[in-house]
Structure formats: C-alpha cells, structure tokens
C-alpha cells in the first residue's frame, strides 16, 4: 500500500515537469525555424516545366527536349546555407544593373546561340 502511494506520488510530480521539457524544446525549435522561413526569394512551388512544352518550337535547331517533366526542386534538396546572423548589419550595396538588352534577339548582334533561342552564354551583355 505504501509502495503504491509512492508510485502515485512520483507519477503525479516528476513526469509532469519532465514531460514539459520536450514540449519546450519543440516550441523553441519551431520558433527558431519559423522566424527564418519567412519571406523567401524563391517559392517552394514546383517548377513550371510544363510551360516549356506549351511553347511552339519555332526554332527546331534549339528546340527544347520533349522529355517528361523535370524532377522539380532537385536543387532544393541540397543543404541550405546558414541563416543570416541576428545582429543588424548594414545592407550591402545592390549589385549593378546589367545594361538593358543591347544585343537584339533573332540572330542579332554577334549571332550567338543565345540570340537564337539557345542557352545563354556568360557574356556581360556587351
């Protein structure tokens, strides 16, 4: 009888305090994650792979492949960079804006592939 009372007492005191620990840790973790998951530069929505296939391939030389839909978000599965430090730091200067379309499309400019619907090269738009 005494032992039963002891068990009841232990169950009614210790577990309540101890079980509060995971809940507290959960709340702290959720808060930490939630604060940095706010506005993102890029939504997690799947890529509009279908868009590519809805276009008319008027330039067969550079036509996109008609393979099945890309496995969207493959790049998103990689490790993410560390969140920015909490301390407020002055914002870095905005990168310079590229010159607006100096190379005409439609075999313009240097007749590069990227002026004819091919992949873009690494030029600085000059």
Partner 1 sequence: MTVRTARRGRYALAAIAATGIAVVVVAFALPGRSPGHGFPALHPAAAPTRWPHAALPNGTAVLSYPPSLRPLAGDTDAVSVARLGPGGVFQLYLNATRRQGSERLQGWAAFRLRLLRSDDATSARQDAAAEGVQFRGGTGSCVIDDYITRIGGHHYEEVACLVQGRTSASVIVGAAAAARWVRARPLLFRAVAAYLVR
Residues whose CB is less than 8 angstroms from the CB of residue 28 and which lie 6 or more positions away in sequence, other chains included: none
Backbone phi, psi, residue 92, to 5°: -65, 155
Window 30-89: residues binding partner 1 (CB under 8 A):
30, 33, 36-37, 40-44, 47, 49, 51-71, 74-81, 83
The CB-of-88 to partner 1 minimum distance in angstroms stands at 18
The CB-of-90 to partner 1 minimum distance in angstroms stands at 13
Is residue 94 involved in binding partner 1 (CB under 8 A)? Answer: yes
What is the C-alpha separation between 20 and 74, in angstroms, rounded? 38
Token pair, residue 9, equals 């007492």
Decide if 57 contacts 118 (C-beta within 8 A). no
Is residue 91 involved in binding partner 1 (CB under 8 A)? Answer: no
Window 96-115: residues binding partner 1 (CB under 8 A):
96-103, 105-106, 110, 112-115
Is residue 8 involved in binding partner 1 (CB under 8 A)? Answer: no
């Amino acid at each position: 009888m005494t032992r039963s009372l002891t068990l009841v007492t232990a169950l009614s005191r210790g577990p309540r305090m101890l079980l509060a620990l995971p809940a507290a840790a959960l709340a702290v973790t959720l808060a930490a994650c939630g604060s940095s998951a706010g506005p993102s530069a890029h939504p997690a929505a799947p890529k509009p792979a279908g868009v590519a296939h809805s276009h008319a391939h008027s330039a067969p030389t550079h036509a996109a492949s008609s393979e099945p839909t890309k496995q969207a978000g493959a790049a998103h599965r990689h490790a993410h960079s560390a969140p920015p430090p909490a301390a407020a730091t002055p914002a870095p200067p905005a990168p310079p804006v590229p010159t607006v379309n100096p190379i005409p499309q439609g075999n313009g400019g240097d007749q590069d592939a990227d002026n004819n619907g091919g992949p873009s090269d690494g030029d600085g738009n000059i």
